A and B are shown apart, each in its own frame.
Chain A
Amino acid sequence: MSKEWPLWEIFIRGQHGMSHRHVGSLHAPDAEMAIHNARDVYTRRNEGVSIWVVEAKNISASAPSEKGPLFDPSNDKVYRHPTFFDIPEEVGAM
């Protein structure tokens, strides 16, 4: 049996006010060690102010084959973008 430590996905908040971003993954025996390791592997140069770790097996992802059904519908809704509407210059910034 493999004694490999589980894989963790690492998310780092780069600066205050930003959201956490996925930066990569690493192996660790538990969440606490994953945070410690993430500090050494992904924030050696002040890249972060906060770390999230999620065990990779707990992440569900959309499949590439779903790309069409999931994202195509938003393509034909151009009116969701402000540039769809012409506003007369006279009324000023809007």
Chain B
Amino acid sequence: MYAQMVKADGKGVKSREEMDAEERAFQDKIDRDVKIEPKDWMPEAYRKTLIRQISQHAHSEIVGQLPEGNWITRAPTLERKAILLAKVQDEAGHGLYLYCAAETLGVSRDDLLDQLHSGKAKYSSIFNYPTLNWADIGAIGWLVDGAAIMNQVPLQRTSYGPYSRAMIRICKEESFHQRQGYDLITKMAQGTKEQKAMAQDAMNRFWRPSLMMFGPSDKDSVHSAQSMAWKIKINTNDELRQKFVDQTVPQAEYLGLEIPDPDLEWNEERQSYDYGEINWDEFYQVISGNGPCNKERLGARVKAWEDGEWFRDALTAHADKKAAKKKKQQQDAA
């Protein structure tokens, strides 16, 4: 997902007997769906795992602006440009909501950004693919935001209060993202032959990377049990992936777009679609820095941060000067 590879701290799920009194009270609260708030006692492993998960999610929102930002100046109409700007601005907002939630766990914003810029922190693999034609912007809203919604909706019920509240805000805004994408790709799919070919091309390139967004298959997803006991993960990766496939296939059929998977087939018994094996080697390559655009994306983030330094410093200097002036005026008046 936006947080695809969160390593959970701790040594597996403890039984109630193994827990001390504090841990048991904590787990009881979670089991009763009582939210954990920043100042409440929490196991160190819960805190660390959450920082990792929320910051991965935040970094994904921030880096996720880049592939779409690539098309803002080239949007075909003023209306599409305004819509895309608003969508990308929302993603910046999502990143900020999530950074704030992570900061309530005692990590500083500077540290979080440092981890992103140094390459230490991960972000979603999906944003390391290029946006080559205008229909890609439709495919991203429809498929990428669609996959994100699948994961984010259940996370509204997550156990950590600030994270849950950030997810609620985010989910309110995501529906616009997916709909504008589907609307865009519908226009393309129903347009000229060339436009339809562009829509299909976008589908061909984004389908499998979108499925990878849900993270490794359950049999390789080693940290799930603890995260689920803590309710910072609500569904398994494969559950959500299947839900996404089942939801999306009819939407593609409506558009007359083909899903680039020869093994895709309705399974009457399961009342679900079967789909082909995912290239996990590609996934691990992309998430560990070797995707088509990893260097470009991280380079753009670092450049923005470094180029903005003089401006951040100037605003601080201005604020200090104003505060000093105000203090002097108060002293003079006294």
Contact = CB atoms under 8 A, between A and B. Distances in A.
Contacts of A3: 110, 312-313, 316
Contacts, number: 52
A25 B89 contact: no
A28 to B, nearest CB: 8
B108 interface: yes
Contacts of B165: 24
A13 to B, nearest CB: 17
A44 B100 contact: no
Interface stretch (B90-98, B151-159, B225-233): B90-98
A41 B166 CA distance: 12
B97 A24 contact: yes
A49 interface: no
A66 B166 CA distance: 27
Given A44-B93, A64-B41, A25 B100 contact: yes
B110 A30 contact: no
B121 interface: no
A30 B326 CA distance: 13
Given A4-B110, A24-B100, A61-B39, A44 B313 contact: no
A36 to B, nearest CB: 11
A63 interface: yes
A2 interface: yes
B163 to A, nearest CB: 12
A41 B39 contact: no
Given A64-B37, A64-B41, A29 B318 contact: yes
B57 to A, nearest CB: 15
B201 interface: no
A7 B319 contact: no
Given A7-B103, A41-B93, A44-B89, A29 B315 contact: yes
Contacts of B173: 44-45
Interface string A1-32: 01111010000000000000000111101100
Contacts of B103: 7, 25
B322 to A, nearest CB: 7
A33 interface: yes
B14 interface: no
B108 A4 contact: yes
| A4, A29, A40, A45 interface centre (most CB from chain B within 10 Å) | A29
Interface of A: 2-5, 7, 24-27, 29-30, 33, 40-41, 44-45, 61, 63-64
17 contacts: A2-B110, A3-B110, A3-B312, A3-B313, A3-B316, A4-B108, A7-B103, A25-B100, A26-B96, A26-B100, A29-B316, A30-B318, A41-B93, A41-B97, A63-B39, A64-B37, A64-B41
Given A2-B108, A25-B100, 4 more contacts: A27-B109, A29-B316, A30-B323, A64-B41
